[in-house]
Amino acid sequence: MKRTTAYALILGLAVSSGCTADPEFLAIRNVTVIDGTGAGPQTDMTVVIAQSQISAIGTDGSVDYPSSARVIDGTGKYLIPGLWDMHVHLRDLGETLPLFVINGVTTVRDMGSEIQKTVALREQIEAGVLVGPRIKTSGMMVESSSWVAQYVELMRDQGAGDQEVEEFLRTRILVGDPDQARVIVDSLTALGADFIKIRHAESPEVFAAIAEAATGAGTQLVGHYVWILSLEETADGGQRSIEHNILPGFNDRSPEQKRELFDALLRNDTHLVPTLVTNYAETQPFENVIAVVEDTEGVLDSRNRYVSGAIRQRWIETVAVNSADTERPPPEVIQQMMTGSNQFLAEARSAGVKMMAGTDVPTTGTFFGFSLHDELALLVGTYGMTPMEALRSATAIPAVFMGMDADVGTIEPGKRADLLLLDADPLVDIRNTKRIDTVIANGRVFDRETRERMLDEIEASIASEADPDMVEPASGS
């Protein structure tokens, strides 16, 4: 048997998925449509797709389509818009890029990667060469020069070698003073960045310069809560989204003071992306996390079979470093911090602050594509969202945020055909978003059989990393 490369596998998946075999017209009949606008379900509907675009929606029998159209029977099924993951890192993908589409994630917001590689992926996906989600990217993350210097020193103290440090720095771009801000923002946008992501700022003046440069470049500034500023200053300063749990929390504030914080977020339309699914690895005993990380055969979690070797190695290294860090708070203390933050964020959501679903994959214990469904369930369980709100946090709201709502995010005539056909009602139980029958990504159909075959090929290729004689080249048609 021969070994297949990661690129060959993904190319094979693109071919075997049947891009040339997909019909020009597709009709989904007798389906319940949950269109993502917030309106209630529409039963017994027919959705017609022509050349990758939704051309008509109406009650069954009220819309026409050619006799040559491929017809999918949607009886007893539910149609929702394709999902967004608003916080991913497209690194160490290997052969796993199609996992997003397999799981119905048709668009991602990449929040820090090597921009040349990510832009190349985006172009190959758009050309139909690769199977993958629509990509919006920040490219390299904007960082404080002094913070990075301190972190690199810590890495070396913990035994990191030159290669690990180099890999860390490849996804960072450093800003030490306000004069550098415009040059760096212009450089990133020229390379293809769709927005600017900030993790740390050297000073309030540097933050202001980065925000001004992003505005001048006609793009958004998003990123972590920059702790050298107040939350009000972050929102008023132009940061459009705040990622992850906000630590330290704000539960020591009075109700009136919290209201002022929420008002700042609301008047600036600043969105929150909590990435709740990442909390597992932070709040569990190390032995539990190690068991998951080392579960290469998927005994504890079947999704482990689809984790690339490079990602798993990063997980192992991260757990080792964290477990050896004597200054790191124990998991139960971190859990208390997260609980406090989530209490504040739940109040923000109740006050009307918009939230978007994101996973921070591939941080330890998160899985490309799969973890977005876990995040939706956590948004419902942690913040009291309704299933409809959770769905909109991964469909319509991200589309509006990214200025793409004319094309995607809801099921309406004239929009791109990014759709999930589900076997059960997600409004009854948000976990039903996992029960996927068919994914339609930019008009391309990935039915159950195709997606299962793609998973098998990905699993086999990952296994071949350890044994090069285990896998045949990916099949094509």
Mean of the pLDDT values across residues 326-344?
91
237 vs 184: CA distance, rounded Å? 18
What was the pLDDT predicted at 247?
Answer: 81
Structure tokens at 383: 């913040």
What was the pLDDT predicted at 152?
Answer: 87
342 vs 273: CA distance, rounded Å? 12
Mean of the pLDDT values across residues 328-338?
91
Higher pLDDT, 271 or 150: 271
What was the pLDDT predicted at 7?
Answer: 38
Mean of the pLDDT values across residues 32-47?
98
Mean of the pLDDT values across residues 1-15?
40
What was the pLDDT predicted at 410?
Answer: 98
Q: Which residues constitute the domain of residue 153?
A: 83-404
Q: Which run of H or E residues covers position 78?
A: strand 78-81
What was the pLDDT predicted at 249?
Answer: 76
112 vs 91: CA distance, rounded Å? 9
Q: Would 256 be classed as within a structural domain?
A: yes
* Per-residue model confidence as pLDDT tens digits over 173-231: 999 999 999 999 999 999 999 999 999 999 999 999 999 999 999 999 999 999 899 99
Mean of the pLDDT values across residues 252-262?
94
The sign of the torsion formed by the CA atoms of 346, 347, 348, 350 equals: positive
Q: Which residue has the tokens 């002094």?
A: 146
**Axis crossing angle, helix 178-191 with helix 115-126, rounded to the nearest 10:** 30
What was the pLDDT predicted at 208?
Answer: 97
Nearest to 402 by CA among 354, 361, 367, 439: 354
Residue 23 pLDDT class (50, 70, 90 cuts): low
Residue 476 pLDDT class (50, 70, 90 cuts): very low
In this structure, what CATH number is given to the domain that contains residue 376?
Answer: 3.20.20.140
pLDDT above 80 (res 8): no
What was the pLDDT predicted at 156?
Answer: 84
* Per-residue model confidence as pLDDT tens digits over 109-148: 999 999 999 999 999 999 999 999 999 999 999 999 888 8
Q: Would 370 be classed as within a structural domain?
A: yes
pLDDT above 60 (res 18): no
User: Is omega for the bond preceding 204 within 30 degrees of 0, making it cis?
Assistant: no
Q: Would 37 be classed as within a structural domain?
A: no
pLDDT above 90 (res 42): yes
What was the pLDDT predicted at 3?
Answer: 36
pLDDT above 70 (res 19): no
* Per-residue model confidence as pLDDT tens digits over 410-439: 999 999 999 999 999 999 999 999 999 999
Q: Would 15 be classed as within a structural domain?
A: no
What was the pLDDT predicted at 466?
Answer: 61
Give me the number of domains the chain comprises.
1
Structure tokens at 438: 């068919």
* Per-residue model confidence as pLDDT tens digits over 71-92: 999 999 999 999 999 999 999 9
Of the given ranges (82-91, 240-249, 301-310, 347-356), which has the lowest mean pLDDT?
Answer: 240-249
Mean of the pLDDT values across residues 36-46?
97
* Per-residue model confidence as pLDDT tens digits over 148-173: 888 888 788 877 788 888 888 889 99
What was the pLDDT predicted at 14?
Answer: 43
Mean pLDDT of the chain: 91
Residue 107 pLDDT class (50, 70, 90 cuts): very high
The sign of the torsion formed by the CA atoms of 36, 417, 92, 398 equals: negative
Q: How many CB atoms lie within 10 A of CB 463?
A: 15
Q: Would 293 be classed as within a structural domain?
A: yes
Q: Would 420 be classed as within a structural domain?
A: no
In the three-class reduction of DSSP (H, G, I as helix; E, B as strand; rest coil), residue 89 is classed as coil
Q: Would 192 be classed as within a structural domain?
A: yes
Higher pLDDT, 1 or 8: 8
Q: Would 253 be classed as within a structural domain?
A: yes
What was the pLDDT predicted at 467?
Answer: 55
82 vs 132: CA distance, rounded Å? 13
